[in-house]
Amino acid sequence: MASGGVAAAPITARGRRTRESLVQAARDVFEAKGFSDTTMSDLADAAGVSHGTVYTYFPAKEAVLAAVCNAVVGEVFAAVRVPEDLRADPVTRIAEGNRRYLRAYAAHARMLEVVEQAATTDEYFRELVDGLRGVFVEKAKSTLRRFQADGLADATLDPDIAGPALVGMVESFARRWYVHDGTFDAEQVVDTLTRMWARAIGLPVEHQQSETREQP
């Protein structure tokens, strides 16, 4: 089992509640202290349980982080899904995808940073990070292929190259923005990234600044 492997879920309702409270408390600890500086004692203290109780549910802090990550990944995927009614227009679809991705990244930026830290030394978390990124890359490639099939996007573009490049642009900007410099207006960011993405694949796009001014 990889060091990030999670222990079997408890059978009783009380056990499930205890495990859930541990995972919830652990997220706060990991975000505050990072992966390297967090200990099992920290996690027990934050959850208000004995150290032995933590080991009842998790063999090591890597397993706790894995449980936190599983919850975060589920929240991210739920948050970035573009509703069907916003998919008809290609540019609107790209804009809403970017908007939802940036909001999700903002909500989980610190936790994603912690996972990246763990990934430098642990194969389980490297695979988790690569898998999460891979989902967005596959979605971008699929979207581009659909636009090409409909005659909307540049048919000469290779989706296997363009997809990772476009996702990398948004991901890299999100990391820099939220970790180092979050001073830009959120809708200006969405508008700019969307126009860059759309024009890169050959979609006609006008400069239409969204009226929504919500910070992700």
CATH architecture for the domain at 13-64: Orthogonal Bundle (1.10)
Q: Is 174 helix (H, G, I), strand (E, B) or coil?
A: helix
Extents of the domains making up the chain: 13-64, 81-200
Among candidates 1, 56, 4, 37, which has minimal Cα distance to 21? 56
pLDDT at 214: 44
How far apart are the C-alpha atoms of 79 and 101, rounded to whole Å? 8
Q: What is the per-residue pLDDT across 170-192, written as a single tens digit (0 to 9) for each?
A: 999 998 888 666 678 889 999 99
- pTM, two decimals, is 0.81
CATH architecture for the domain at 81-200: Orthogonal Bundle (1.10)
Q: What is the per-residue pLDDT across 102-138, written as a single tens digit (0 to 9) for each?
A: 999 989 989 999 999 999 999 999 999 999 999 999 9
